[in-house]
Amino acid sequence: MNPLNHVAIIMDGNGRWGMRNKNSRKAGHKAGLKTVEKIIKHSIKNKIKFLTLYAFSTENWKRPDSEIKYLFNLLEVFLREKIQKLHSNGIKIKIVGNKNLNKKLRTLLTYAEKKTSKNEKIQINLALNYGSKKEILDTVKKLIKNKKKITEENFTNNLYTKNIPNPDILIRTGNTKRLSNFLMWQLAYSELFFEKKLWPDFNEIDYDKIIKKYSQIKRNFGKI
C-alpha cells in the first residue's frame, strides 16, 4: 500500500455553489470554509502529515474587490477564532506564498505560524497569494543572488515549500481539470484526482474514496 503523507487540494467551486444555493458567491466561500474544517479533521484521522490548501492564488487578485475583501476577512476571522483550537489539536500552520499582504493580516499569519511551529500532528500549508510561476522565478533569483549552483537539490531546497515533501495526491474539486498555477514543480510525480463535486459539497466519504483509489495505484516514479 502506498504511504500517504501529503495531500494537496485545489478547493474549486465555491462561487458556483454559492450562486446555485444562495445566489451569492460569498456564501459559497463561507460554506467552503466548513468543508476545510471537515477535511482537516479527516486528514488527522487518516494520519496524513501534510495538507496543502490553495486558499488564494496570485491570479485571484483579478476578482472584484468585494470578493477579495470577503475572502481575506473569512481567513482572518477563522484564524482569530480557531487558532487556540488548532494549536491544542497539534496543528502546525505554515503559509506558502507571498506574505506581502496588509500589515494586520501579515502579523496574524506570522503569529499563527510562530504559535503552532512546534506542533507535529499535521502541518497545514495555506497557499495564500501563491503562484507557482512566481515561486519558480523567486527561487531562481534567490539561487543566483546567493551564488548557488542551479541543481535540482538546491532548487527544491529554496522553494517556498522547502522542508515539505512533495504531495502524494492532488485533489481538485469543481469539475475542472487544470493545475491553475499550483505547485507545478512539486506535483511532477503526484497522483491527480479530479472530483466533479463543488468544494462545499465535498465530504469525508468522497475523500476516503480517493484515498482508497490512491492506495491501489502502482507508483513507478519512472521505473517499471
Torsional sign, CA 114, 133, 179, 72? positive
Residue from 7, 27, 48, 75 in contact with ligand FPP (CB under 6 A):
75
Q: Which residues are catalytic?
A: 12, 60
What Cα–Cα distance (Å) separates residue 100 from each residue in 63, 77, 160? 18, 19, 14
- Closest residue to bound ligand FPP by CB: 15
**CA geometry: angle at 79 spanning 95 and 204, to 5°?**
85
CB of 151 to ligand FPP, least distance (A): 34
Residue from 5, 21, 46, 74 in contact with ligand FPP (CB under 6 A):
74
Q: Which residues pair with 194 in a beta bridge?
A: 172
Q: Which helix (H) or strand (E) holds 54?
A: strand 50-57
Residue from 8, 27, 33, 91 in contact with ligand FPP (CB under 6 A):
33
Here's the x/- map for ligand FPP, 94-133, by CB under 6 A: it reads as --------------------------------x-------
Closest CA to 128 of 36, 37, 57: 57
143 binds ligand FPP (CB under 6 A): no
Q: Which residues bind ligand FPP (CB under 6 A)?
A: 11-16, 29, 32-33, 36, 53, 55, 60, 71, 74-75, 78, 126, 174, 199
